[in-house]
Amino acid sequence: MSLPNLSRLRHDLREQGAIHVPKALDANSMRLARDAYQWSLCHPSPNCAHFQGTPEAPSKFYQDLLNPNALPAYRRLLEESFAADVVAELWDSPDVWFMYEQVFLKEGGESRRTPWHQDSSYLPITGEKVAVMWITFEPVRKEDSLEFVRGSHRGILYDGSRFDPNDDTAPIYGTLPRLPDIEADRSRWDIVSWAVEPGDVLIFHPAMLHGGAPAHQGNRRSTLSLRFFGEDAVYRALPGTARVGDSDNPDRPGSPFQDIQRKLKDGDPFRHPGFPKIRPRAQASA
């Protein structure tokens, strides 16, 4: 496949850390993504969570990630859709591995926003070729979309958020710089977002500061995130252990991350049978 404005997209992903790719996924790719998403909703993992709202936004929202049984259900999406091909094009590299899935569902009235955070605070992986692909199944307005602090993937790695409804910046480790309260003064930050249609994708580096706008009465927002890495990805030890209740923490009992953190040392290639190689197709194997 070939993406329009590919050189610009590559530049912006590398330098700004997040991009909007219109019409990246065709109808078949979206059908496969929807099938995988529905499987996740019907097969909750021990990692699933219903986040409590606040008095101003009392609705709950649901998320799940790294289901230990997901890989067979996601295999057709990974092998037959354009998702991994888009990432390979953007990295200008044929080698793509799949890390894990994450599903979100916000509906039933006003919900709290997803707090500002960096996925890298929870993940023992670093490299230029690490990416999150965000897929929506409904049109999302710019003001309701995922938001990013432009270029923040090249700045400070902050502590993770506990996703505490009383304090979005409450840390999980206590050894990294505490998350800034971006919502307290948004004008200080170079925040970017895009309106997104089904078939479009947002792609960003996991070190990007990002957060999700709240859902509103009468609206439903169902989204799927896929995390990929390339040949330059290496292990980077985390400063501690995130607690089991933390939203983006994939370090759960039986997770490949637990095995990796026992076996690898800083700088080792990030590889594990639980994170299969999916491109090139002829070499797709664990």
**Domains plus CATH for the chain?**
6-268 (2.60.120.620)
0.75 exceeded by pTM: yes
What tokens appear for 194 in the block?
A: 């895009």
52-66, 208-222, 272-286: the lowest-pLDDT one:
52-66
Of residues 280 and 56, more confidence is placed in 280
Please give the angle made by the CA atoms of 169, 116 and 124, to the nearest 5 degrees.
Answer: 90
Q: Find the mean pLDDT for residues 119-143.
A: 96
pLDDT digits (tens, 9 = 90+) for 94-117: 999 999 999 999 876 666 778 999
pLDDT tens digits for range 167-186: 999 999 999 999 999 999 99
